[in-house]
Amino acid sequence: MVLDQQPEGREIFGRAKYEPEIGEPWNAIVVGEAIGDQVTLVITALQGDEQVSSMLSGTYDQAAEKMGGQFFQVSHERVSARGEFEAQWINPDTSAYAPAEVKESKPVTLPSETNISTSLQQISGSRLLRSPSIMMCGRMRIGS
């Protein structure tokens, strides 16, 4: 996950990816906010033709460079997973981040017959929270 926070802002945004040895990789967008040491992130990706969103809410421990808390995931119009997560800060340098290589998914038509944009078509899969550990890099001022 690569995150950024604007100076003097509490908004967080970035990208996430999943690159398993077995299974389908995916890319996602991340949005959220940090207020003091409290952080909320929403990660949204496509799994096949289904949009999957995961909300992570927790506390950032600046000394340990870790974030932990609760999550829930929504797919197929219901809560599909919930539990605890832990994220480890690994690097403030985001220059080496590259999206996961994913298969092109077929275009999805919403009930209103609106086509999903090309950039969203390239976001594929979601197994983010099947593992309780997340690695982060980026520039954020959490806890100050």
* 61 C-beta neighbours (distance < 10 Å), count: 14
CB-side neighbour CA atoms (13 Å) of 66: 7
Determine contact, residues 137/89, Cβ cutoff 8 Å: yes
How confident is the model at residue 117, as a pLDDT?
A: 30
How confident is the model at residue 124, as a pLDDT?
A: 29
pTM of the complete model beyond 0.95? no
Residue 68 maps to a domain:
yes
Give the C-alpha separation, 104 to 26, whole Å: 11
Residue 7 maps to a domain:
yes
What residues in the chain have per-residue pLDDT under 50?
111-134, 138-144
Q: Give the pLDDT confidence of 11-20 residue by residue, as tens digits.
A: 999 999 888 8
**Structural domain for 54, as ranges:** 2-139
Residue 92 maps to a domain:
yes
* 126 C-beta neighbours (distance < 10 Å), count: 27
Residue 144 maps to a domain:
no
Number of domains in the chain: 1
Give the C-alpha separation, 39 to 12, whole Å: 9
109-112 CB contacts, 8 Å cutoff, 24+ apart: none
How confident is the model at residue 69, as a pLDDT?
A: 94
Unique residue bearing structure tokens 């092109």: 104
Residue 15 maps to a domain:
yes
Residue 61 maps to a domain:
yes
Give the C-alpha separation, 14 to 3, whole Å: 4
Residue 55 maps to a domain:
yes
How confident is the model at residue 133, as a pLDDT?
A: 41
